[in-house]
Amino acid sequence: MDKELALELLQNKMFVRLRSDLQEMNPADIAFLVEEMNEAEEFGEKELILLYRILPKELAAESFTYMDSDTQMVLINAFSDKELRDVIDELYIDDTVDIIEEMPANVVSRILRNTDLDTRKQINQLLNYPKDSAGSVMTTEFVYLNKDITVKEAFERIRKIGLVKETVYTCYVTESRKLVGVVTVLDMLVADEDSRIEDIMETNVISVRTHDDQEHVAHTMSKYDIAAIPVVDNEDRIVGIVTFDDAMDVMQEENTEDFAKMAAVVPAEDSYFKTSVWQHAKSRIPWLLILMLSATLTGWISSQFEAQIAVIPMLVSFMPMVMGTGGNCGSQSSTLIIRGMALEEIRLRDFFKVIFKEFRVAFICSIVLSIVNGLRIWISYKDPQLALVIALSIIGTVILAKLVGAMLPMAAKALKLDPAIMATPLITTVVDSCSLLIYFTIATNILSDRLG
């Protein structure tokens, strides 16, 4: 169903048809429909809430979790307290926390007023974990089993509580709240129903800690191919689990953030279209200003060679090429190393290994580039001295750019900064200055007789 059809059905009060059509849809698709309606001008809040109220209770709550925070807020403001309670009751705790984090204070207090004490406690606990930590993305709803019960008793427990837990296929075996093992529904299905859980559980459990970085959580799940990972506190007690769907979201978010940072954009919370023009400008201007002003250093360096340029104006025409090649070499190295660190393939202790590797790569690249370009200039300008200047400048620039490109992200990591901020634009600015210095110094020395 598209929004035009939804509007038509709403206006003609064909609610039975609308309800049955909506019931055929997936909660995620219903959420996108409601979002589209919220953005379109022909719909008012009245139509939005009317359509939402037509949905069966469970489907309504499930769709709610997939909506963006704008749409959620419109609906919450229109909800009666009873409706709000119904939605929250159906939500998983971690989804409620996600919603709360996006809402203004008055909406938050209304949500908290409409939850029971136990839920409120869990919400507050989750809200207290640091941003982007395992604790902040986990859900507190999981199935735990006592190691002394039988498979039959375990299945009874799953049947009773299963439907309200995010995943039931991996159950966590605890002993005085400490995590001692995991057992999957498949293990239990193929086991005898009188077997004790203790005898069929896996004791080699992969887990993460509440304060671990969410990116590390996603990597660990991907490395061990597991659909849910238990989160334990400092005393090895299980306090929650992170499921594969949240891990996928974490991966995409972290990657999007890295892409933004590497292009000198302050990462935005929303998607491209949902971010307003003003917000886009605000997230782009800071780095542009910083880089623009630091580029004046490069300008200042080139102004130091005005005398040489006045004598041999042609020197100017090779500036973009030398600077560009340096910038490109630097961003190649920094990007590969930032990515390698994000994937946990490169660690800080690999510093010298990386530097040595980049040095050798840079050496090969610089030789190839300087030969190609040196020959080209020799042939087209019939000026071997000039060709030598360019060739040597490229060798110096490429090697320097690759070393700087490799070192800065690792230095950022060592200083507990995000390596991604040391990416392309900053590297380019640093390398620009150095490459001009190298270029003009070499030119001044080799072409000294012409410069008089």
Q: Which of residues 140-169 bind a second copy (CB under 8 A)?
A: 155, 158-159, 162-163, 168-169
Contact with a second copy (CB under 8 A): which of 164, 368, 379, 414? 368
Q: Which is nearer to a second copy, 133 or 331 (CB)?
A: 331
In this structure, the strands spanning 178-184 and 144-146 are: unpaired
Q: Which of 41, 272, 415, 449 is the binder for a second copy (CB under 8 A)?
A: 272
| Least distance from a second copy to the Cβ atom of residue 274, Å | 9
Shortest distance (Å) from residue 265 CB to a second copy:
5
Among 299, 381, 445, 448, binds a second copy (CB under 8 A): 299
| Residue window 385-424: x/- pattern of binding to a second copy, with contact defined by CB under 8 A | ---------------------------------------x
The SS3 of residue 86 is: helix
**Nearest distance from C-beta of residue 328 to a second copy, angstroms:** 5
Structure tokens at 160: 């009773």
**Residues, the chain:** 452
Q: Among residues 125, 150, 328, 444, which is the contact residue for a second copy, using CB under 8 A?
A: 328
Q: How many C-beta atoms surround the C-beta of residue 351 within 10 A?
A: 16
Instruction: Assign 230 to helix, strand or coil.
Output: strand
Site for a second copy contains 2 (CB under 8 A): no
Task: Map residues 14-33 to x or -, x wherever contact with a second copy holds by CB under 8 A.
Answer: ----------xxx-x-----
| Alpha carbons 333 and 419: distance in angstroms, whole number | 12
d(CA 14, CA 56): 16
Query: Please, what is the minimum distance in Å from the beta carbon of residue 11 to a second copy?
Result: 26
Nearer Cβ to a second copy (37/158)? 158
- Token representation of residue 406: 């490799």
Interface residue with a second copy among 292, 375, 379, 414 (CB under 8 A) is 292
Residue 174 touching a second copy (CB under 8 A): no
Burial per residue of 1-36, b for 16 or more beta-carbon CB atoms within 10 angstroms, e otherwise:
eebeebbebbeeeeeeebeeebeebebeebbbbbbe
The residue (of 83 and 432) whose beta carbon lies closer to a second copy is 432
* Position among 172, 200, 425, 442 found at the interface with a second copy (CB under 8 A): 425
Residue 337 binds a second copy, judged by CB under 8 A: yes
- Closest C-alpha among 230, 180, 226, 220 to residue 201: 180
Q: CA–CA distance from 206 to each of 179, 182, 239, 341, 372 (Å)? A: 11, 9, 14, 22, 53
Q: Which of residues 205-224 bind a second copy (CB under 8 A)?
A: 206, 218, 221-224
- Select the span of 79-87, 124-132, 296-304, 411-419 touching a second copy (CB under 8 A): 296-304
Question: Should residue 314 be labelled a site residue for a second copy when binding is judged by CB under 8 A?
Answer: yes
Determine if 249 is a binding residue for a second copy (CB under 8 A).
Answer: yes
What track of x and - describes contact with a second copy for positions 84 through 123 (by CB under 8 A)?
----------------------------------------
Choices 13-21, 73-81, 192-200, 309-317 (CB under 8 A): range interacting with a second copy: 309-317
State the residue for tokens 């001044």.
444
Q: Which is nearer to a second copy, 140 or 332 (CB)?
A: 332
Q: Which is nearer to a second copy, 44 or 299 (CB)?
A: 299
Q: Shortest gap between Cβ of 425 and a second copy (angstroms)?
A: 5
314 CB neighbour count, 10 Å cutoff: 10
Total number of residues that touch a second copy (CB under 8 A): 111
**Residue whose CB is less far from a second copy, 104 or 313:** 313
Q: Which residues of 168-183 are buried (b: 16+ CB within 10 A; e: fewer)?
A: bebbbbbeeeebbbbb
User: How many Cβ atoms sit within 10 Å of the Cβ of residue 412?
Assistant: 20
Query: Which residues have CB under 8 Å from 231's CB, separation 6+?
Result: 134, 135, 138, 207, 208, 209, 210, 212, 217, 238, 239, 240, 241, 242
Radius of gyration of the chain from Cα atoms?
A: 30
